[in-house]
């Protein structure tokens, strides 16, 4: 299979793959990592002689992804999709692929304890950290965290695996590695540090002290739209490359990576591949989480309810297009601290990216895990507006859209397949409340999402309730039209 991929009609690895050193162990070999961080490493190897390679690891799920990668000598295709043309790149920076359930957790831990490992990076989604999105702290009774704390030397969670690997490195007199989150969370480095240090402290106070003193947790902001891979995606990649690649992934041409330059054991020269190395990532993270991810969630819930399956379909509805743009500039941009960025241009760029008809990014996919996403994408902005006594009508509508969505029935009376780590809690709130005001109050009572103060804020509650009742009475399309007409 290697020879077949190396004959693909694509940009091929131009470097000697045998010279790569697996200095980065990456947890979470999903579509986003393949289309983002790995591409930066591949550009560095191809164009700048970098020898930084990846050991790719899946801890839970994704067995087939790792099997497909191994079957292809760790090569896979990344296709960039635009309405006019698709281009492909065969990425060759993975030197090894492991799955905890297939290769054994001891093999994974041994790979993380190799002396040359300088970075352990993560794309495990927000729900993989075992933290509260409302506080950023470790939730020790999260089932996978609680299980690992009972049995810390045979861990299964990302936090448990990292702490055990660091413990083994410390015992062996090896240098620590940097832990770098590449997930979409505000201050993802701080969240990761909180989770790892709290987990370590629950296991061994001396180890926790050593980690706090010697390990860094840089924050990052990652951006590239990578829709879930479908059979159609793989067919299209085969059409353009001439090779069937089950590990292939497709994405938009745009990519961005902002990285806090805080590494204890060295790092690749990512800036040569277009990344921005900065002292403080937080303002960039907030910009992306609120303007891009916040408007994406707004479109996902209200678009799905209106029957739009893909984001580009939402963009063909002028009211949705204007609502997303207005949400970004009127309600999200004022809350930001980022300096030196033209936010109006950024908003225009986002709308153009959303309009890419080749992407077919499903509203259902973006709607997943809303309990983990709402706090940083919408609720933090609402809190800013309440402090400053500003209007936040579109944010309230987005939150109400989430509430209608998790009710589990769309406007045509069809069941919605709601996917969320707090699904049981959400369903309890839905099933124990009558439709209307009682439903809104019940959902606002989920402290893990809304915290304790917002549900007591009558202005906030009234705005969300008004939007929810408009959605019930008129449907999503008409309500979005009605709301945007007031701007």
Predicted pLDDT at 2:
53
**Pick from 208, 206, 125, 205: nearest CA to 162:** 208
Residue entry with tokens 């001439």: 242
Q: Crossing angle of helices 105-112/158-171, nearest 10°? A: 60
**How many whole angstroms separate alpha carbon 168 and alpha carbon 145?**
19
**How many whole angstroms separate alpha carbon 78 and alpha carbon 261?**
27
Burial (CB < 10 A; 0-12, 13-18, 19+), residue 87, is middle
The tens place of each residue's pLDDT in the chain, 487 residues long, gives: 457 899 999 999 999 999 999 999 999 999 999 999 999 999 999 999 999 999 999 999 999 999 999 999 999 999 999 888 899 999 999 999 999 999 999 999 999 999 999 999 999 999 999 999 888 899 999 999 999 999 999 999 999 999 999 999 999 999 999 999 999 988 999 999 999 999 999 999 999 999 999 999 999 999 999 999 999 999 999 999 999 999 999 999 999 999 999 999 999 999 999 999 999 999 999 999 999 999 999 999 999 999 999 999 999 999 999 999 999 999 999 999 999 999 999 999 999 999 999 989 999 999 999 999 999 999 999 999 999 999 999 999 999 999 999 999 999 999 999 999 999 999 999 999 999 999 999 999 999 999 999 999 999 999 999 999 999 999 999 999 999 999 9
Provide CB contacts within 8 A for 71, sequence distance 6+. 1
Rg (CA), the chain: 22
- The token pair that represents 269 in the structure block: 């020269």
Q: How far is CA 193 from CA 37, 138, 294, in A?
A: 21, 10, 25
Which pTM value belongs to this model? 0.92
Predicted pLDDT at 83:
84
Residue entry with tokens 């979409």: 184
SS3 for 23? strand
Q: How far is CA 62 from the centre of its chain?
A: 16
262 within 8 A of 91, measured Cβ to Cβ: no
Predicted pLDDT at 134:
82
SS3 for 392? coil
**How many whole angstroms separate alpha carbon 376 and alpha carbon 153?**
33
**Pick from 446, 290, 458: nearest CA to 381:** 290
Residue entry with tokens 């309500």: 479
CB atoms under 10 Å from CB of 466, counted, come to 15
- The token pair that represents 218 in the structure block: 């840089």
3-state secondary structure 7-20: CCCCECCCCCHHHC
């Amino acid at each position: 299979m290697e020879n077949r991929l190396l004959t693909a009609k694509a940009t091929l690895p131009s470097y000697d793959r045998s010279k790569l050193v697996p200095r980065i162990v990456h947890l979470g070999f999903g579509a986003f990592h393949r289309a983002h961080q790995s591409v930066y490493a591949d550009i560095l190897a191809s164009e700048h002689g970098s020898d930084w390679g990846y050991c790719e690891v899946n801890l839970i799920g994704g067995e087939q992804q790792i099997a497909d990668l191994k079957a292809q000598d760790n090569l896979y295709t990344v296709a960039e999709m635009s309405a006019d043309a698709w281009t492909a790149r065969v990425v060759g920076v993975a030197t090894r692929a492991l799955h905890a359930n297939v290769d054994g957790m001891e093999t994974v831990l041994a790979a993380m304890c190799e002396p040359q490992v300088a970075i352990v990076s993560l794309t495990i989604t927000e729900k993989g950290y075992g933290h509260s999105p409302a506080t950023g702290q470790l939730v020790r009774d999260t089932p996978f965290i609680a299980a690992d704390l009972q049995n810390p030397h045979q861990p299964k969670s990302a936090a448990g695996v990292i702490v055990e690997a660091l413990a083994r490195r410390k015992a062996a007199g090896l240098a620590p590695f940097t832990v770098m989150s590449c997930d979409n969370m505000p201050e993802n480095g701080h969240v990761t540090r909180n989770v790892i240090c709290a987990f370590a402290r629950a296991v061994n106070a001396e180890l926790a002290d050593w980690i706090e003193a010697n390990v860094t947790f840089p924050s990052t902001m990652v951006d590239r739209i990578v829709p879930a891979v479908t059979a159609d995606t793989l067919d299209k990649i085969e059409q353009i490359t001439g090779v069937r690649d089950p590990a292939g992934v497709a994405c938009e041409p745009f990519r961005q990576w902002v990285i806090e330059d805080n590494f204890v054991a060295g790092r690749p020269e990512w800036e040569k591949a277009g990344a921005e190395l900065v002292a403080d990532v937080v303002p960039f993270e907030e910009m992306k989480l609120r303007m891009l991810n916040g408007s994406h969630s707004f479109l996902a819930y209200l678009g799905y309810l209106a029957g739009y399956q893909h984001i580009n379909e939402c963009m063909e509805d002028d009211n949705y297009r204007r609502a997303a743009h207005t949400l970004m500039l009127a309600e999200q941009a004022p809350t930001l601290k980022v300096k030196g960025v033209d936010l109006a241009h950024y908003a225009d760029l986002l709308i153009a990216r959303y309009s890419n008809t080749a992407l077919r990014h499903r509203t259902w996919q973006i709607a997943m895990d809303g309990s983990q996403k709402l706090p940083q994408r919408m609720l933090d902005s609402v809190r800013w507006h309440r402090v400053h006594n500003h209007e936040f009508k579109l944010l309230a509508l987005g939150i109400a859209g989430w509430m209608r969505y998790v009710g589990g029935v769309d406007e045509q009376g069809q069941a919605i397949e709601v996917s969320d780590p707090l699904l049981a809690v959400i369903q309890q709130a839905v099933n124990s409340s009558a439709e209307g005001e009682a439903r809104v109050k019940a959902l606002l009572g989920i402290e893990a999402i809304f915290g304790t103060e917002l549900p007591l804020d009558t202005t906030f509650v009234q705005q969300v309730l008004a939007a929810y009742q408009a959605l019930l009475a008129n449907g999503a399309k008409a309500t979005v039209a009605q709301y945007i007409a007031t701007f």
